[in-house]
Structure 1
Amino acid sequence: MLDEYLKSKAEFVNTKLESFLPKSIDETWVKDNFPYYKGDAGIMNELMKPIWDLLERGGKRWRPVLMMLCCDVVGGGSKIEELIPVVEIIHNGTLMVDDVEDSSDIRRGKPCIHKIFGEDVAINTGNMMYYLPYLIIKKIDLDKKTKLAVYDLINEEMLKLSIGQGMDIYWHSGGENISEQLYLQMCAFKTGTLARMSAKLGALLGNANKKQVKALGKFAETIGIAFQIQDDILNVTNKEWGKEFGEDITEGKRSLMAIRVLEKGNEEDRKRLLEILSMKTKDERLINEAIGLMKRYDTINYAKKKAEKLVEDAWRNLDSCILPSDSKIKLKMFADFLVNREI
């Protein structure tokens, strides 16, 4: 049921994305959005090619769906559909830049954007995607107070996102002083940011009260953390999920499972795992050895239970803030689906 609901909503999101950013840009679109630009539409189309190369590969589109549900659950708002492209475009921009920073090869089953267009194009396009949504916000008919709140929200969350990504880079580049608590903080900033942004945007445009905005933001942040934990799990358990199997080990990432080994493993196993992570290896034998160390300490089950517990606790805090409705039921099912997904 929910799977079909998300698929239908993903198609709706795709329609809104193309409505805002056509696959073929004409002079009218350029004039409406970039009146100060003096070149022709041909150059602009070339600049947008990497964006659609990535967007057309699919993706779950769950962040705009979360935004719409959070708006509906507090009463709804007529303007929310206009903001659908905002978080999805920003999200895909972060993927483009993240793949360069992680030296990744595969994204959604195909070569990463920087492998096709070059690192310079991927970095520039990814950064452009952080700002393209402001074209929507500039034009949307909102009162000044609400529009300012939207600007402030996006700016604050984008700063947190960069801090979270910086923490991740620091650790997989050999940085020390990592713990489970700091890992969860990194996830809250990195993966939780766009989920939290989505929820709060929906709540703002649905005229939620302050308590509801805070509770929905925290719940969505937790979904983001749980989503990242599930990503970590899939990276070492599912060879068919659209990225390179064991890529996190190749990148030297300190996933929750790796941290658990470093906290609970014996000295020999801790030392060996750190050794493999520092190699940044693509050797299948070494990747499997690292996964074996994680399995030795039952870290995959530990991570799974951790994600489920985080979502349960966050839902308990949210439950009392919102009235019963079909959207509320979908919101809970939505969270459970993301935590238990296999791709």
Structure 2
Amino acid sequence: MNLVLSPALQVSSPSSVEQCWGAFLHGPAQEFMSRPKKEFRAELVSIGCRLYLKGVPFSEKQKSIIAELSRVLEWIHAGSLIVDDIQDDSLERRGGPTVHRLYGVGPALNLGNWMYFEALKALHGLAVDDGVKLKIISCTHEAMHQAHLGQALDLGASMKALNTGQIQEVVHKSHCLKSGALVALALQVGALVAEPKPDLLLLQELGTQLGSSLQRFDDLGNLKFHCADSKALEDLKLGRPSWIWMYLATCGDSSQIQGFKEALEFLPETHALEAFVQSTDLKKRAHAEALRLHRNMEEKMKKSFAGFENVQTLGLIKNLTERIVHAYE
């Protein structure tokens, strides 16, 4: 994705202005985007399109649009990770130092926000009908709005002070808004490439459930001890909503929730939490429940598109969701 300047800002030869943009925008963005990533959302753009093509192969034009939309979603997601890492003061991301630790908080914040706007700007150049383009832009704005609402819950909720019902509400909303919104968007924009009037509400519902499932396994993957992974236990140390809280609030009892809260008081020292997790078999039980919910989501997705006679696409969805289950182990 290349920066296109307005005529007022264009220069005829390399300048200190362009060098500054290269050093603080293009270079850092390129480096961050070159790091290893799972690209689940990019795959879902293609799957969303396939669901409504019903077995018809992509045209060359559709391939180009899908590729551009995939890049847009990866840029939005990357920008959100950069901002999220600033808010959590994380040490590492995608196998390297976080952007704010490489370049400073100010440059990193500017870069993350710029990546949002670069991505949105690219949508205006899509080779689609104006009506479809407006829907894609509208869906994207709504997803980004929802994601920021979810991030506000992450930053503002005091998990230890919440009762059982409040824990369930906050974690559910956080997962749906922060993680589910962008996954749902991937399915929606992909579908719009194939069909000008897809069922956007259904795709939002299914995508939100899939994104929430992804977040559950991510949370479980971070519940580990005695490892070099700087992300391990990060959400629990920071008091963020997570699947661990949700599981205890829905499947545990009051004594377990109280024991969990007491163990968290010793963080960053982990012995009390580790002992609690082992004595309650917490990770295994929470994983089993997350897997049960994941299978229910898979079945609902299969039933929702069974009439589309697209067995191959449903197989792709199955393969992708299986990778999600194991991606954060």
TM-score computed with the length of structure 2 as normaliser: 0.83
Contact 2:146 2:178 in 1 (8 A): yes
Cα gap change, 1:100/1:173 in structure 2, threshold over 3 Å: closer, same or farther? farther
Counterpart CA distance in 1 for 2:88 and 2:260 is 19
Identify the residue that residue 292 of structure 1 maps to in structure 2. 278
Cα gap change, 1:83/1:267 in structure 2, threshold over 3 Å: closer, same or farther? closer
Residue 296 (structure 1) shift: 4.9
Residue 284 (structure 1) shift: 3.3
With 224-233 and 249-258 compared, the bigger mean Cα shift is at: 249-258
Identify the residue that residue 45 of structure 2 maps to in structure 1. 67
Identify the residue that residue 188 of structure 2 maps to in structure 1. 200
- AA of the residue aligned to 1:204: L
Cα gap change, 1:290/1:161 in structure 2, threshold over 3 Å: closer, same or farther? farther
Identify the residue that residue 13 of structure 2 maps to in structure 1. none
Cα gap change, 1:303/1:147 in structure 2, threshold over 3 Å: closer, same or farther? same
2:222 counterpart SS class:
helix
Cα gap change, 1:241/1:306 in structure 2, threshold over 3 Å: closer, same or farther? farther
Counterpart CA distance in 1 for 2:202 and 2:225 is 33
2:257 is the counterpart of 1:270: yes
Residue 295 (structure 1) shift: 2.5
1:179 counterpart SS class:
helix
Cα gap change, 1:277/1:44 in structure 2, threshold over 3 Å: closer, same or farther? same
Match of 2:178 among 176, 183, 190: 190
Pairs within 5 Å for 1:60-209: 60-75=38-53, 76=58, 77-78=62-63, 79-172=65-158, 176-177=162-163, 178-207=166-195, 209=197
Residue 297 (structure 1) shift: 8.5
Counterpart CA distance in 1 for 2:105 and 2:122 is 27
Contact 2:291 2:325 in 1 (8 A): no
Residue 234 (structure 1) shift: 0.7
Unaligned runs of 5+ in 2: 11-15
- AA of the residue aligned to 2:173: Q
TM-score computed with the length of structure 1 as normaliser: 0.80
Counterpart CA distance in 2 for 1:58 and 1:130 is 20
2:31 is the counterpart of 1:43: no
Contact 2:151 2:174 in 1 (8 A): yes
Counterpart CA distance in 1 for 2:116 and 2:302 is 33
